[in-house]
Chain A
Amino acid sequence: MIDSLYMPYLMRIEKITCEAPGVKTFMLKFVNEEDQNNFAFKAGQFGEYSVFGEGESTFCIASSPTRKGYIECTFRQSGKVTNALAGCEEGSVIGFRGPYGNIFPLDEWKGKNILFIAGGIALPPMRCVIWNALDTRENFKDITIVYGAKSVNDLVYKNELKEWEIRDDVRLVTTVDPGGETPDWKGEVGFVPSIVEKIAPSAENTVAVVCGPPVMIKFTFPVLAKLGFRDENVFTTLENRMKCGFGKCGHCNVGKVYVCKDGPVFTQAQLKELPDEY
């Protein structure tokens, strides 16, 4: 008998990494090999992660589709399910449904520069596409990553940040909010939008990917516009509340759009068409 849409894959937590206070990354492997073989996803997609008995929670797949055999997710402890997830151990089995949603059009970005701008816990949805781009580095021109967090302690993926910093085929600019720096902090100090303005990347043949808290996005868009970025070339992801993940439950409906189906990746041009209900 066919399983319903709502049946999750059973996933085993292979590895848990603490990224920042309250932020963890799980590396998940399929319990059934067959599931693993049938599974494919693309950068930008998300899933429903569940702790049995606690419920489901929506977040992106944070690993790159170029890395096979596992998926990763990064989440911040904030609600009932994420708290339960945080209470899981390595080796525990959790549920995962997905992949759902649209993708970052990496194919269309071939031959272009990519500017990644992320704030706080919003790096995970971008990490997937960053690694995807880095793993297929030859397809793209300059890659720039601007990442900021409230404080040094709140920066996630610290190991990867180090790695990106060392690589010479990617430019990484990290920043922390004023007051969030430590004595040995070598990165920038300041809010993300002003840092973007300061480093002034060229809009020429460039796509920008912006993920972060609403206030950061709100102030970054005008900066990008000033730098000459066109709305169609500015991408972001929406974080609406979702339940099913595939356009039935009605929760993520914004205007005629189902964020779970038509998103979560949107260009700024698309967002401008949407009612302000996200």
Chain B
Amino acid sequence: MDDLRKRAKELIDTSAVKVVIGYEQGTGNKTRALFVENSEVADKLIFDSRCVQNLAAYVTKQEVKSKGKMAITATLPVMRAIIQLASEFQVNDDNLIVIGITPESKIIDFKNLEEVETYVHQFQIEIDARNREILDKLDKMTPSERWKFWIDELSPCFKCYACRAACPMCYCSRCTVDFNRPQWIPVSSNELGNLEWHFMRAMHLTGRCVDCDACANACPLAIPINLLTKKMIEDAKSDFGGYQPSLKGENLLSTFKPDDKENFIQ
């Protein structure tokens, strides 16, 4: 933790960056984002296992971005998100420095995003055991049972879009749901509107989701929406050999291989 604070102070004091995005103790037992703009504040920086909010969601936020060059304390999922964002031209070495954090709270200094990419590529995106189990359970259900499961799970959704807000990949200034010519996604938070919203979100995240669970953590109603994106990650693995965020910017769904699987096409 001291390393982290030291590094943050150094970045601020040397004017290398204008703001360091990290975690601080929040209310209750929560942690939350901290924006360090002067070195005294850096002492509030913490890092522990509760720090799961994906801070990468802030680097595309206009209000944060407009401060100038940013540094971000980044766990593996955050680093993945940063690389994906870089591949989509949202961040670059000129506006972002990544302070990596290992699960053991060790600081990793990265000179540039390329180094972050190299680090990220050491690890595959893997579904955790608990969710793996739920996915397996769902896999064993009949489509009808899954349909019932999802309609039921999604029915409380009141479309607060916390999932969208917390997701580092949902940085669009105009989301599809805000597009009304035509109104692709029904505005109302009824069964159909919810289904189509979450369906579309999962599609938009296919090949882009970094599996940080920010969406599910953000959902005030604890709807396991991350299962949708997890499933897409799984299927991307079996269908396309998986993916990694990459600075090359070759997205899973915007590229193809001539010999892609097509056993479902008649």
Query: Using a CB–CB distance below 8 Å, which chain A residues touch chain B?
Result: 55, 79-80, 83
Contacts and interface: CB of A to CB of B under 8 A. Distances in A.
A79 B178 CA distance: 13
B174 interface: no
Contacts of B181: 79-80, 83
Interface residues of B, number: 3
Interface string B155-189: 00000000000000000000000001101000000
A79 B183 CA distance: 12
Nearest to B179: A80
A83 B180 CA distance: 12
A58 to B, nearest CB: 15
A55 B181 CA distance: 12
A176 B183 CA distance: 37
7 contacts: A55-B180, A79-B180, A79-B181, A80-B180, A80-B181, A80-B183, A83-B181
Which 7 pairs between the two chains have the least Cβ-Cβ distance? A80-B180, A80-B181, A83-B181, A79-B180, A80-B183, A79-B181, A55-B180
Nearest to A81: B180
A215 to B, nearest CB: 23
Contacts of A80: 180-181, 183
Nearest to B183: A80
Interface in B230-263: none
Contacts of B183: 80
Nearest to B187: A55
B177 to A, nearest CB: 14
A80 B178 CA distance: 12
Nearest to B182: A80
Contacts of A55: 180
Contacts of A83: 181
Interface string B173-209: 0000000110100000000000000000000000000
B158 to A, nearest CB: 16
A80 B181 CA distance: 6
A88 B130 CA distance: 56
Contacts of B180: 55, 79-80
A137 B180 CA distance: 45
A80 B187 CA distance: 14
B231 to A, nearest CB: 34
Nearest to A84: B181
A42 to B, nearest CB: 32
A83 B182 CA distance: 12
Nearest to A55: B180
A56 to B, nearest CB: 12
A80 B180 CA distance: 7
A267 B167 CA distance: 44
Contacts of A79: 180-181
A55 to B, nearest CB: 8
Nearest to B180: A80
A75 to B, nearest CB: 16
A80 B184 CA distance: 13
B250 to A, nearest CB: 36
A55 B183 CA distance: 11
B136 to A, nearest CB: 44
A55 B180 CA distance: 10
A261 B247 CA distance: 53
A129 B180 CA distance: 34
A170 B181 CA distance: 43
A83 B181 CA distance: 10
Nearest to B181: A80
A118 to B, nearest CB: 29
A248 B20 CA distance: 41
B160 to A, nearest CB: 16
A80 B183 CA distance: 9
B175 to A, nearest CB: 16
A211 B201 CA distance: 42
A33 B183 CA distance: 35
A55 B188 CA distance: 13
A211 B180 CA distance: 28
A43 B146 CA distance: 58
B75 to A, nearest CB: 38
A12 to B, nearest CB: 26
A39 to B, nearest CB: 30
